[in-house]
Amino acid sequence: MTILTRFAPSPTGQLHVGNIRTALHNWLWAQQAGGRFVLRIDDTDAERSEERFVDAIRADLAWLGLNPDGEERQSARFALYEARFAALREAGHVYPAYETAQELDLKRKIAAGRGLPPVYDRAALALGDAERAAFEAEGRSPHWRFKLDHAAPIEWDDLIRGHQRFDPATMSDPVIRRADGSWLYMLPSAIDDAEMGVTHVVRGEDHVSNTALQLQMFAALGSPPPAFAHEALLVGSEGKLSKRLGSVGVESFREAGIEPEAVRALLARIGTSLPVEPLIDTATLIETFDFGRFGRAPARFDEAELAALNARIIHQLDFDRVAPQLPAGMGRAGWEAVRPNLSTLAEAADWWQVIEGPIDADIDPADRNFLGEAARLAAGIDWSGDPWHALTGALKASSGRSGKSLFLPLRRALTGLDHGPDMKTLLPLIGRDRAIERLGKT
């Protein structure tokens, strides 16, 4: 059996971090099994779906390195839904209901007042042909419900949550089609999973009850259901559900200077028993992905943890990977010199400015003669080897200074800063002429 997973976002907005995590886990499972990962655009809601969001979803997945093996559009599959709906209707698995939204709301309030769950009472099933005709004459068009089978409990073994059991008699027959003929999520999703041959559905635990309903839809369609894995939802660093998570996505990651490798490394592991590590290569993430390691507790997403992981990732990135994002003129030697001091790639431009100049150095008057001597000695040392140790060795001998009193004034004069990359690697990049000029300005 070829493993097939799908990521099925609705193009009604930007992907957020929870969507991205779901996409990543579907991709990882398919990769591990040598299977296929498909993007399905669930755009049945024509009023809210926008093509710009479709383009954004594709771009976000590409940035993350989650390249689909195929793409489907629900808006291109309406003929299929009509055919399957007609068959379900003929078999008695769906039925029309004529209650208005206000009438349904009133029923829910009455049930709540009696301490009962808001389960639909199936009043539409008791309607006769004359009553349905009367509603039609009033101008009412029916919405359509899927008729749940109450004969036996709904059960399945979830790959994360273990054995699941639902009593269908405690659940409302789900509305699958609106009065205007438009589709809701439940039935088209089940039809597509069946027709596409989806073998595994990986999604958030907020879909668990949907899965119970859809399992009966698969049975009514005569199709074996996929395996399901419902993962715990993300919570914010404060330990509770956060509205902020709904706005954290690829755009905000990019604005913060977060690299896709860091996003993958964090979201692959949070909520599992495996440690979050600064893994650049996806091979290890793929190899170690295991639904059995997922916990039931909410997965904690911490932007500070992501930022720290991002810095550790950047410290490993090769020049060829980052070259297009570096400032003009910065080569491999420059990248390797400044890389250990970066939290984001954008900071490379700041260090390139330190190298290329001009810089503004705040010099202690007590160090001016010392730095003047440094400029004189810098003109005479061998710059083809290790000019930093050649310069500091000569200065130590001539001035008697050592330690901080020797090194700090030099760093300030040469870079304008008290800290930064190893001067052994930085000074050759600054170069002989710039170094002598900066030391002599003091």
Give the number of other Cβ atoms within 10 Å of residue 181's Cβ.
Answer: 11
- Specify the pLDDT at position 241: 65
Residues 255/284, Cβ–Cβ less than 8 Å: no
Burial class (CB in 10 A: 0-12, 13-18, 19+), 291: middle
pLDDT classification of 442: cutoffs 50, 70, 90: low
Instruction: Give me the CATH topology for the region 365-440.
Output: Arc Repressor Mutant, subunit A (1.10.10)
- Specify the pLDDT at position 98: 96
CA pair distance 265, 435, nearest whole angstrom: 41
The per-residue pLDDT for range 77-97, each reduced to its tens digit, is: 999 999 999 999 999 999 999
Segment 290-319 mean pLDDT? 96
Percent of all residues in the chain with a pLDDT value above 70, rounded to a whole number:
99
Domain ranges for the chain, please list them.
Answer: 1-74+232-316, 80-177, 319-356, 365-440
Percent of all residues in the chain with a pLDDT value above 90, rounded to a whole number:
95
Can you read off the two tokens belonging to residue 105? Answer: 């709301």
- Under 8 Å CB-to-CB from 236, ≥6 apart: which residues? 242, 244, 245, 300, 301, 302
- Specify the pLDDT at position 247: 83
Can you read off the two tokens belonging to residue 198? Answer: 């989806």
Residues 108/77, Cβ–Cβ less than 8 Å: no
CA pair distance 410, 118, nearest whole angstrom: 75
Residues 56/15, Cβ–Cβ less than 8 Å: yes
Q: What is the pTM of this model?
A: 0.92
In a 13 Å sphere around the CA of 337, the CA atoms on its Cβ side amount to 22
What are 202's strand-pairing partners? 229
Can you read off the two tokens belonging to residue 206? Answer: 């907020």
Confidence check: pLDDT of 192 > 70: yes
Segment 32-38 mean pLDDT? 98
Residues 163/175, Cβ–Cβ less than 8 Å: no
Segment 198-202 mean pLDDT? 98
CA pair distance 123, 118, nearest whole angstrom: 14
The per-residue pLDDT for range 341-362, each reduced to its tens digit, is: 999 999 999 999 999 999 999 9
Is residue 404 part of an annotated ligand binding site? no
- Specify the pLDDT at position 93: 98
The CATH H-level superfamily of 1-74+232-316 is HUPs (3.40.50.620)
Confidence check: pLDDT of 239 > 90: no
- Specify the pLDDT at position 237: 79
Segment 164-181 mean pLDDT? 97
CATH architecture of 80-177: Alpha-Beta Complex (3.90)
- Under 8 Å CB-to-CB from 278, ≥6 apart: which residues? 262, 265, 309, 312, 313, 315, 316
The per-residue pLDDT for range 252-289, each reduced to its tens digit, is: 999 999 999 999 999 999 999 999 999 999 999 999 99
Residues 188/8, Cβ–Cβ less than 8 Å: no
Give the number of other Cβ atoms within 10 Å of residue 153's Cβ.
Answer: 12
